[in-house]
Amino acid sequence: MGTGFSHYSVMLKECIDGLEIKKDGLYVDCTAGGGGHSLEIAKRLDPSLGGHLIAIDRDIEAIEATRERLGEYIDRAELVNDNFANLREILGGREPDGVLIDLGVSSHQIDTAERGFSYNLDSRLDMRMNRADPVSAYEIVNGYGEEQLANIIYNYGEERFSRRIASAIVKKRLEKPIETTLELERIVSGAVPHKENGSSPAKRTFQAIRIEVNHELEIIEPTVRLISSVLKKGGVIAVITFHSLEDRIVKLTVNDLCTGCTCPPSFPVCVCGRKPVLEKITKKPIIPSDKENEENKRSHSAKLRLARKL
Ligand SMILES: C[S@@+](CC[C@H](N)C(=O)[O-])C[C@H]1O[C@@H](n2cnc3c(N)ncnc32)[C@H](O)[C@@H]1O
């Protein structure tokens, strides 16, 4: 039986070309999702030569979808239901030739009502990528203090009406707990002064709560550093981001890892001992083509950054 998992794989060709896949190499897809990138990597590997893929996702439904998507190519793949923050343990000393992270949520997670990610689909508030995690959107919306909520909505949603929204949430939940996505959507919509064309005013608040539920931002920098330390020499890291908060962290971390000696030019010899770990392959991020943006509106904010281990 099919998993019914659908996800348009963003910048698929650009990622696969960027990873420069060798048929005997070891590759890691940290965010397997619907298995689209994993499948294209797996097809290019030769298991008789040692070619191998490790596909990770914290969402068990994504792992099952990837298993199904890989089909006959499963013989060269290892599926791991875990957080990519645990990559070192997952690798157990193996050094990959390429690692991909395609950050954020999958279309499947957003479009499956009962996962509670969408402000368009009615469901109990949830938003956990891993449903075994202890804290869901329900606990955050009903349990966090007003200031804490306002800060999250401001910092992770870049929402200028964060204080009004937090105040409206706290006022409403005095009557009864806020149980569903649509209840939250109505509260947020009622708290902001005007609607922007097209999308719901709740979009930014939902993004913020989702980021808090899944600790999405705090694991990016340590994971990029971890990947750069475990990659084989010459190996490639590819990171796709979907909003400026993610992209900024990736950009600054990669810049830092690409930085060598920081001694003042007047020093005759280097005393800091600092050496670059990565070199950039993309000076500016790659963005989706117009054709891809037409085919998939969720691609339009995506950015792909590539770097090589020195
Ligand atoms: C944008 S989707 C990936 C789509 C995939 N590249 C494809 O082609 O179908 C992101 C996936 O990453 C997973 N994910 C996000 N953060 C994660 C983390 N810290 N550890 C493991 N998986 C994570 C989500 O559960 C989701 O399935």
Adjacency order of strands within the sheet including 236-241: 77-81, 52-57, 26-29, 98-102, 236-241, 303-309, 278-280
Sign, Cα dihedral of 20, 22, 26, 32: positive
Q: What pLDDT does 155 receive? A: 97
User: Residue 77: which of 5, 27, 20 has the closest Cα?
Assistant: 27
C-beta 246 within 6 A of ligand 1:
no
Please indicate, yes or no, if residue 3 is contained in any of the structural domains: no
Please indicate, yes or no, if residue 7 is contained in any of the structural domains: no
C-beta 309 within 6 A of ligand 1:
no
Report, as an integer, the average pLDDT of 194-205. Answer: 80
Average pLDDT of the chain, as a whole number: 95
> Which residue bears the tokens 């090589």?
308
Does pTM top 0.85 for this prediction?
Answer: yes
Please indicate, yes or no, if residue 1 is contained in any of the structural domains: no
C-beta 73 within 6 A of ligand 1:
no
pLDDT in tens, 260-293: 999 999 999 999 999 999 999 999 999 999 999 9
In total, how many domains does the chain have?
2
Indicate if the pLDDT at residue 195 is higher than 70. no
CATH number at 122 reads 1.10.150.170
What percent of the chain clears pLDDT 70, i.e. is strictly above it?
96
Distance 175 CA to ligand 1 centre (A): 36
Distance 270 CA to ligand 1 centre (A): 41
Residue 233 shares a structural domain with residue 85: yes
Helix boundaries (H) for the chain: 12-19, 36-43, 60-70, 87-91, 107-111, 137-143, 146-157, 162-175, 181-191, 203-214, 220-230, 244-257, 290-295
The count of residues in the chain is: 310
C-beta 102 within 6 A of ligand 1:
yes
User: Residue 307: which of 230, 245, 255, 247 has the closest Cα?
Assistant: 255
Q: What pLDDT does 297 receive? A: 85
pLDDT in tens, 215-255: 999 999 999 999 999 999 999 999 999 999 999 999 999 99
Domain-ending residue, one of 192, 214, 236: 214
For residue 304, the tally of other CB atoms under 10 A from its CB is 21
Residue 204 shares a structural domain with residue 232: no
Domain-ending residue, one of 214, 249, 271: 214
C-beta 83 within 6 A of ligand 1:
yes
User: Residue 52: which of 7, 17, 90 has the closest Cα?
Assistant: 90
Q: What pLDDT does 49 receive? A: 98
Domain range for residue 192?
Answer: 118-214
Residue 147 shares a structural domain with residue 229: no
Indicate if the pLDDT at residue 1 is higher than 50. no
